[in-house]
Structure 1
Amino acid sequence: MNATTDRVPVTILTGFLGAGKTTLVNHILTAQHGKRIAVIENEFGEVGIDQDLVISAEEEIFEMNNGCICCTVRGDLIRILGNLMKRRDKFDYILVETTGLADPGPVAQTFFVDDEVREKTELDGLVTLVDAKHVHRHWGTNEVQEQIAFADVILLNKTDLVTPDELDALEARITGVNAVATVYRTRNSVIEVDRVLNVVGFDLDRAMVTDPRFLEPEYPFEWGGVFTLEPGDYALVMQEGPDPAMKLALLSAPDGLSAAAGTAVRCFSEREPAAAGVVEPGARLWEAALPGGAVRVPVRIDRAGDYALFTEHHPDEFRAELHGPSGVLAAQEAHAYKPDHEHDDAVSSVGITVPGELSEEKLNEWLGGLLQTQGQDIFRMKGVLAVKGDANRFVFQGVHMLFDGRADRPWGGAPRTNKLIFIGRNLDRDKLTEGFRSCLA
């Protein structure tokens, strides 16, 4: 799709029954925020707008004295949008509220499927309100899962009704479903209007502010470091930590840490690690018991070279250090990996980052096949792509089987790296990554 300056950004507001959507809409329609917003309200009668605030009323469209316009959506959304666009000079943003039991997918798809709507509007983002006090009662429903999965921004509302620990646990659970949504904690749906408008839902650079490592693959270990070692005896010294044991692997690493990480993944997939009596380099998994206090795990090196040590947990958690004849050794290269974790829900996020340029033909073929076979399970997808022969970044977002993209700013001197996010149900990370890599030119 070609970007045009006259397209109106649209924000879709969703959330389960009682989450606070009506309170937020009422605030937007009555507050003096200086924004010109058209609000398409699902049940206008529930908002309870003071008639003194209404300047004029024609059909289903009400103009407010604070610059807002409000519409009912008891009729068809496309028809309402058509009527609203006749007043294009009256507003700069559109906010659409869905019902509490609605799947936001079909509402979002409206802005992809109708040519006239696509020409005049642009889906900017989806905002979901979550009732911090009561969402646990409905967590297993498809509506709650999908509303969270579709979101670019999540308002964790009613924070005054739960403890800080409960809030932290809920936010972590939400992040497990949708790792790139920006989360704000609110009371009584009070939030700056700027935080629910112009969210630029497909801006991965902005989304990654919440989790800079989201696009990294998940690993079964949290840390790796490369040490240059001479033949001899060493010791991995650890203190008591959050777990009673630490799994680790020690591998020859002549080509550096990244090259050794693949072998480490295979080592950590072993179900029965060997007890760490004397650790020696090799493609095997060791486990050191940590009963309490300081523990010295002997390490024996027979040949000089570079060796990569991978640990299940970050060394800082156990004050772990590799000791040699001259004292504590520093790693020449180290990296903290994004740890693997078990999702307790079928809905999750998969992020992929691949450097290089894509073949437009291969990409279209792969995406087309993927959306035909798995489109119903892919709630949202978004990405920034480097297409061979194109000097500009290509940004896109999709809803189920519908895809919408456009040329963005030039790459300039920035590395041409592809970033892609899928949010949906029953996603296979390895298969998606392999399929996307097959599109490289």
Structure 2
Amino acid sequence: MTHSDTAHGKIPVTVLTGFLGAGKTTLVNHILTAQHGRRIAVIENEFGDIPVDNALVISSDEEIFEMANGCCLCCTARSDLIDILRRLRTRDRLDRVLIETSGMADPNPIAQTFFVDDEVAAHYALDAVVTLVDARHAGVHLDAYEAGLGHAGPAHQVVDQIAFADRIVVNKTDLVTPEETEALTGRLRRINATAGISTSRHAAVDLDTVLGVAAFDLARASTADRRWLEEDSGHWHDPDITSVSVELAGDLDRTALEEWLARLGAARGPDLYRIKGILALAGEDRRCVLQGLHRLHELSEGAPWQRGEPRRSRLVLIGRGLDRAELEAGLRACTTPATGAVAGRPAASGAPYGA
């Protein structure tokens, strides 16, 4: 790293933000597998009531804490963040803390934590706010914002995350042309003229550009948002954006699952911001990891199921105007004949999308 991992004896903290599907968890995994020799504590925040992100982070020696409270860190969960930071102080040889926020989070109030709580401020130093931007989909949100259509919804959150960044990583550049990447970078510069901007594929960044950079500038942050140290800055969440969590015992049929995901994407693609899950597929001895956004999804091989471990699928969908009953029914229709009950939930009415 180009900067010492300790600032005046404090533990440096990097806040990793970015809208849903930008690649934050992929970057966390990249950091954890890099040969940097540092002991890092990772704090994950879910926007949903079933923990999934922890299982998506690869196995490592690092400490991983997860807050699956159905709320962004920028709301009531901030007290949970403070509690975790206090507990981390008792751990031996902790070099750095990495906070991966929910895609719905405004990084502003998270940064406040390191200045308004005396105990946290005495032992931790905010090193940088790093914002990942999805090269393929960010333009849609910026278009809405510039047209005056998104000043109280997802576009507003995307712009907030970009505006408050110390470092911006334009990710997934392999999905767009160099000209589109250049045009997007220019738009980001108009929102944030001072942040360092880099590009990446699969979030494979040079760690010296995002860790240990001492980039967080309190004076600049205060100028950008004069309310940023106020306890209640009126952070707004679009009430139409919801998180639907589904858990199924038993196995899913892979073909039926793929067909359902295709129908779901065709029917609700623009409103379906994020899909992620850990799934049990019939005939496969490893977990299946599902990642998706809008009409795109990917199934990949995960860790093996342990002997005697109950096989179950956990799925979280985040989007606008989602119908829980239809989503539960759709996933249940993918189960093998021996299974089909939603764990811990009564059967829901309604047909699956496209059925």
Give the structure 1 partner of residue 120 of structure 2: 117
- With over 3 angstroms needed to count, the CA separation of the structure-2 counterparts of 1:73 and 1:47, relative to structure 1, is closer
User: Conserved in 2, the CA contact under 8 Å of 1:22 and 1:47?
Assistant: no
Letter in 1 for 2:221: R
8 Å contact from structure 1 (residues 16, 144) kept in 2 = yes
Give, in angstroms, the shift of residue 49 of structure 1.
5.6
Per the TM alignment, residue 119 of structure 1 is displaced from its structure 2 partner at its CA by 0.4
Q: Which residue of 2 aligns with 1:46?
A: 53
CA offset at residue 148 of structure 1?
Answer: 0.3
Shift of 1:203: 6.3
CA 109–157 in structure 1, closer or farther in 2 if over 3 Å, else same: same
Aligned to 2:9: 6
**Equivalent of 2:172 in 137, 153, 158:** 158
**Following the alignment from structure 1 to structure 2, what is the Cα–Cα distance between the partners of residues 203 and 112?**
12
Match of 2:188 among 174, 194, 200: 174
SS at match of 1:6: coil
Which of 188, 199, 221 does residue 380 from structure 1 map onto? 221
Aligned equivalent of 1:95, options 98, 111, 115? 98
Aligned residue type for 2:10:
R
Counterparts of 2:44 and 2:93, CA distance in 1: 17
State the SS of the aligned residue for 1:402.
Answer: coil
- CA displacement, residues 316-337 of structure 1 (integer Å, 9 cap, x when unaligned): xxxxxxxxxxxxxxxxxxxxxx
Which residue of the other structure, out of 224, 229, 241, is the alignment partner of 1:402? 229
**Aligned counterparts of 1:124 and 1:50: Cα–Cα separation in 2:** 22
Query: Partner of 1:200 in structure 2?
Result: 214
- Verify the 8 A CA contact 1:25 1:47 in the aligned structure 2: no
RMSD of the TM alignment (CA)? 2.7
- Give 1:109-148 correspondences, 5 Å limit: 109-139=112-142, 140=145, 141-148=155-162
Check whether the contact 2:10–2:124 (CA below 8 A) recurs between aligned residues.
yes
Residue 36 of structure 2, aligned match among 33, 46, 57: 33
Distance between the aligned counterparts of 1:39 and 1:202, measured in 2?
19
Task: Give the secondary-structure state (helix, strand or coil) at the position aligned to 1:39.
Answer: strand
Q: Report the equivalent of 2:253.
A: none
**What secondary structure, in the 3-state scheme, does the structure 1 residue paired with 2:105 have?**
coil
Contact between 1:126 and 1:152, CA under 8 Å: does it hold in 2? yes
How many Å apart are 1:27 and its aligned residue? 2.3
Q: Secondary structure at the match of 1:145?
A: helix
Once the two structures are TM-superposed, the CA of residue 197 in structure 1 deviates from its matched residue by 1.0
Q: AA paired with 1:381?
A: S
> Could you tell me how far apart the structure 2 residues matched to 1:202 and 1:98 are?
17
Partner SS state of residue 130, structure 2: strand
Q: Which runs of 5+ in 1 are unaligned?
A: 54-63, 205-366, 368-378, 383-396, 404-441
- Give the number of the structure whose residues are more often helix, by fraction: 2
Equivalent residue number for residue 303 of structure 2: none
> Measured at CA, do residues 202 and 81 of structure 1 come closer, stay the same or move farther in structure 2, by a change above 3 Å?
closer
Inter-CA distance 123–199: structure 2 relative to 1 (3 Å threshold): same
**Deviation by residue 1:147-188 (Cα, 9 ceiling, x = unmatched):** 000000000000011111111111011001100100011000
Q: CA deviation at 1:399?
A: 7.1
2:65 aligned to which of 27, 52, 71: 71
Q: CA deviation at 1:402?
A: 2.5
Change (3 A) 1:16 1:5: same
1:171-320 to structure 2, matched below 5 A, reads 171-202=185-216
Residue correspondences, number: 200
Unaligned runs of 5+ in 2: 1-5, 69-76, 146-154, 231-355
Q: Percent identity?
A: 51
Higher RCO (CA < 8 A, seq sep 6+): 2
What TM-score do you get using the length of structure 1 for normalisation?
0.42
Q: Distance in 2 between matches of 1:181 and 1:86?
A: 34
Specify which of 74, 80, 87 is matched with residue 83 of structure 1: 87
Residue in 2 that maps onto 1:332: none
Secondary structure at 2:52's aligned position in 1?
A: helix
Tell me, what secondary structure is at the counterpart of 1:48? helix
Using the alignment, how far apart are the partners of 2:90 and 2:37 within structure 1? Answer: 21
